[in-house]
């Protein structure tokens, strides 16, 4: 089974920073908004072109990636978006 990819990285888009697929919305921006207390629904209203389903998918994908990285391991942006 192939899982949909919600996070991508391309050197030609946002200097290679991980973004939500098919957008220029950096994952880091979403994480900071969540850290600042915004709900995923509020963030969805700020980025209506992304959609709630894609935002949730991206956050789930990010969580899965973080879970697979051993604690204390330094990673590059390229590794984070792979």
pLDDT per residue as tens, the chain (82 positions): 455 799 999 999 999 999 999 999 999 999 999 999 999 999 999 999 999 999 999 999 999 988 887 776 766 655 554 5
**Cβ of 15: how many Cβ atoms within 10 Å?**
10
Domain containing 13 equals 7-66+75-81
Structural domain contains residue 1: no
Looking at residue 53, which CATH number applies to its domain? Answer: 1.10.10.10
Maximum C-alpha span of the chain: 36
Structural domain contains residue 60: yes
Say what the pLDDT of residue 78 is.
Answer: 53
- pTM for the full model? 0.78
| Residues whose CB falls within 8 Å of the CB of residue 2, separated by 6 or more in sequence, listed in order | none
Q: How far apart are CA 73 and CA 7, in angstroms?
A: 20
Say what the pLDDT of residue 67 is.
Answer: 84
């Amino acid at each position: 089974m192939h899982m949909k990819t919600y996070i991508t990285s391309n050197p030609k888009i946002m200097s290679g920073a991980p973004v939500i697929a098919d957008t220029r919305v950096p994952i880091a921006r979403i994480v900071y908004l969540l850290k600042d207390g915004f709900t995923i629904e509020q963030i969805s209203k700020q980025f209506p072109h992304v959609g709630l389903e894609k935002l949730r998918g991206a956050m789930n994908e990010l969580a899965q990636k973080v879970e697979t990285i051993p604690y204390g391991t330094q990673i590059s942006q390229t590794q984070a978006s792979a």
